[in-house]
Amino acid sequence: MSTTARTADAAGQPEAAGQPGHPAAETRAEQVRLAFASFLMLFVELALIRWVTSNNVYVTKATNFVLLASFLGIGIGFLNARTRRDYLRWTPVVLLVLVGFVLAFPVILASLSGPHPYQGLRGSAALPQPLSLSVVFVLVTAVMAGLGQGVARIFTGFRPLNAYRLDIGGSIAGIAVFSLLSFFNQPPATWGFIACGGLVVMLAPKVRWWQVGAALVIVTLLCLESFVPNQTWSPYNKLSVQARGGRGAALYVSANNIPYQAARSLAVLKEQKKFYFYPYQHIPRSDLKNVLIVGAGTGNDTTVALAEGARHVDAVEIDPQLLRIGHEQNPARPFESSRVTVHSADGREYLQDTNKKYNLILFALPDSLEAVSGQSAIRLESFLLTAQSVVTVKKHLVPGGTFAMYNYYAPFLLNRYASTIESAFGREPCQNVGPPLGGRRLAVLTAHLGAPVPNCASYWHGQHVTPASDDHPFPYLPTPGIPAPYLWMLGAILLGSVLLVRVGGGSLAGMQRYVDLAFMGAAFMLLETKNIVQFALLFGTTWFVNSLVFAGVLIAVYLAVETARHVRLPRPAVLYALLIASLALTWLIPPDATLGLPVVPRFLAASALAFAPIFLANLVFAQRFADVEASGTAFAANLLGAMVGGTLEYLALLTGYRFLLIVVGVLYGLAFVTRPRRGPASLRS
């Protein structure tokens, strides 16, 4: 613990040397400590978002649930930067309780039908959703409060902008390390080793035996989870594989405690899963020259395409570990064929970047069950299932080519996709309907380019449903709006957060001076989310693109801080005007306007539109933050504002993502009118 962190309390007593405005504490050793603590804080946040989601199906449906708890906890930690409360010392124990709870009370989707679809360990009943989510939220908040306090104690010993730049530098390192671990498919044991080792380092030299003991137990538990036979961790999912024999022999794969796929032999597919063969009833065998399968998974669709005479198959699957499982364990070994080229890529991105045309394009059960990140409500396949995506499919068909998609659909979803196909192809799709499954029904929708579908026994004539779009990529949402369960959850989070801040952070009076920073935090959170979604559309929803966007945002923030430290900025009104102008320009350009450009020009244009507002927003923030009197309290206000911004993200379910730019502009306008009325401080450090 920094000794200077205890020389004054939150009530505003005089600051000792080494506190903000006194550079004596800004030694090289303290700089390294702050950067390391910030690295660890972001690394643990990313790990918790990924790990909790993989073990609790309730959290899978709550998208940025863990992110909101993390921001709340970090904010509480910063509010206690200079109090006598010591949350950091208890962090190993609280983290142990969180890990133990999640492992002891997982939530598993055991069935798609029946009164009790969710189970816990060994078939026991799962905890009620409100109880499970509440405990997870409180424990994540407590863990991040300890880490936040550890960062804040060092943070407040620096001049504000110096502290902020070191914090951003450490955060960039956290993104880089977690991305590297994702690339190598590392399991939670590795994440836990880094997190717990880092905690022990943060607690040194006053680390206690019980803190080390808690860290060792955490790593042991995560090792026991990570090295379960027939289980692997991809950049997206915890994948569990189980082979079952008998008449319906198959290789069953679950993802994040949800039944996901089953790889079968060709004979079993012909007997039990006839829908795989339906698209081939509408296309002559002699025309099957090139086939594209989006959502190739473990290989069933590729097996059927080869059996039906496809001369070449491009098999596209976003999860590389699913491809590996299919290559090694699918009974038919379809990926070993010389007629198959495997692509680990996002399906929409592949369609945008390839020049190939196909006789048959299949959307093969595309349902990832996974959100793009803990910071957005879209799923990995959301942009694949929009009206614009199906138009792109049409452009990649040869004359007389065929498009088909199949899955188990809720009634409104079947009508939505059929309406989407009808809009793109100009006629109703052919419809093959199979048996029901848990309120959903198997269906294959087929369209033929330039003519009715050959050999079609039944065309779709259902109710028209508005297709999902690139701006409103929520195909699973029946109508635009925020569902009631989300509203109840967000209301509970906000009310609970006020209580936790009051109990764990003390009086809120100190943050009244920094209301403008809270508005900035909310606005920036929405701006960051909008950019994540934008890059997912333009370059795919892969973990790599997501990591690059996070890193790009942090680099833009870092450059803004460095600019503010070395360049005399214009007065706030000018910076705010430039920021609003950049937001207006971004709003005027449709989200898919650059899709037709080659990759490099598309990247440059997208980066300019995305990162210019971020850079300007952080010039505004840096100018204001450089002049704060209590950097810990000011940063806490900004973080808690960001949490509110995370709840406002759900407005996109009603309005679409483009509208969020208007909300961002309004929030920055509120920041401008609530800022302190005084001249800007000198920003040279």
3-state SS, residue 102: helix
pLDDT of the residue at 467: 96
Do 70 and 171 touch, CB atoms closer than 8 A? no
3-state SS, residue 238: strand
pLDDT of the residue at 14: 31
* Residue partners of 577: CB distance under 8 A and separation at least 6: none
Hey, what are 92's tokens? 């190993």
Do 404 and 394 touch, CB atoms closer than 8 A? no
Q: What digits encode the pLDDT tens for the residues 69-113?
A: 999 999 999 999 988 899 999 999 999 999 999 999 999 988 766
3-state SS, residue 9: coil
Ranges of residues in the chain whose predicted pLDDT is under 50: 1-22, 24, 373-375, 679-685
Q: Write down the H helix ranges in 184-208.
A: 188-203
Instruction: For the chain, state the CA radius of gyration.
Output: 26
Per-position DSSP letters for 53-85, written without gaps between them: HHHBHHHHTTTTHHHHHHHHHHHHHHHTTTSS-
Length of the chain: 685
Distance between alpha carbon 550 and the CA centroid of its chain, in Å? 10
Do 522 and 642 touch, CB atoms closer than 8 A? yes
CB atoms within 10 A of CB 603: 16
Unique residue bearing structure tokens 């779709």: 460
CB atoms within 10 A of CB 389: 27
- Asked if the 480-685 domain carries CATH number 1.20.1250, the reply is yes
pLDDT of the residue at 243: 86
Residue ranges of the domains in the chain? Answer: 18-227, 260-367+387-448, 480-685
* Alpha carbons 322 and 576: distance in angstroms, whole number: 47
Crossing angle of helices 188-203 and 209-226, in 10° steps, is 170
Q: 390-404 in b/e burial notation, b at 16+ Cβ within 10 A?
A: bebbbebbeeebbbb
Give the residue from 50, 133, 217 showing the smallest Cα distance to 486. Answer: 133
Per-position DSSP letters for 281-344, written without gaps between them: GGS-GGG-SEEEEES-TTSHHHHHHHHTT-SEEEEEES-HHHHHHHHHH-TT-GGGSTTEEEEE
CA quadruple 485, 125, 380, 403: dihedral, nearest 10: -100
* Residue partners of 306: CB distance under 8 A and separation at least 6: 313, 334, 337, 339, 340
Do 475 and 416 touch, CB atoms closer than 8 A? yes
The architecture (CATH level 2) of 260-367+387-448 comes to 3-Layer(aba) Sandwich (3.40)
Per-position DSSP letters for 346-381, written without gaps between them: -HHHHHHH----EEEEEEES-----BSSTT-S-BTT
pLDDT of the residue at 376: 52
Hey, what are 127's tokens? 């905890």
Do 541 and 318 touch, CB atoms closer than 8 A? yes
Per-position DSSP letters for 114-137, written without gaps between them: SS--EE-GGGPBPPPHHHHHHHHH
β-bridge partners, 295: none
